[in-house]
A and B are shown apart, each in its own frame.
Chain A
């Protein structure tokens, strides 16, 4: 319910009105985006690692 209200409010901020039916469909999509955002945030981009990768030509 909180997610639905959040979506509704953010769309309203952008001047976009949506029906309840459409809004219901946006909840799982928004949750999917949150998963992608969290996945992207798994990368530690704040500091350099050394080495980032290795290559083996032996296999």
Chain B
């Protein structure tokens, strides 16, 4: 009913016709807006992908609370704390279990090229429920044999063709931190900006690889609570009992702590945000140029319409609608190209970059702001349209 009414009272789509009757100019405008949109998608995708990648491992841990050293700044610099603290934690009635975890970067020798490269090694008691994925936990049982490691098949290719060789059934032996190890299987974890690759091993093997490590020290303590226990309450209670040489986080807090490091303590977040802002500025300039020259070119026509009795606000509305149409038409190709580029990035860098709703909306909002802002600037030109001057 309302639609019928609107349809029968519709007007000539002046904004649409102004844009589409100059296909050359429209194409330039859309190319500019799409380019700006793609740039924003790319930069924000990298930024968010980096933050997400920094916690790919964190998110797999089966824990309600996490103990780390207060000197730990991020996953690339984990300080150690006494393993005794975990035993103390066990005294709390709400704690169901704990898992001590070793965590350090070690030099991995590429078995093909013989080059070494830093890899993140995680050591724990095989069979301990380290990960939420129970199938993964089962596979770690092979680590109970000394000198065995599980290699992350998503690691960057610089570590060697481990996954391919393993699938071919080859026995892969190489050096980690100067000691011989054998690849006993593959896991899929994914690299982050901090770690190019991951390997899992037993605590025993880990200590063998790092003989200088003080005994009884760990880098990470996972705490599981009994069903129904409130993590915040337990965390507060544990905090009051434990000495100051440990910090306690909820799982969510642990993930945020890591992301926050990359966000605030490195230039990465800033750089990519600046990159996205550049896209915004470039796009704004292009849209403003297009709309401004469009208004200038049609100034006599706008003046004619005003002489005929069309009010200025209606003419401003035409310019605003032009901006809106440009935003809509420019966003679609940008979004599609963004999808494609994310696939390329995922394949090229193995970073978890994907088009998500929030970012789609954010970029759309930025393109909309860009186009409407430019339209608003171009409207000032419309003030020059003096109907008295057209005779």
Please indicate whether A and B come from the same complex rather than being unrelated chains: no
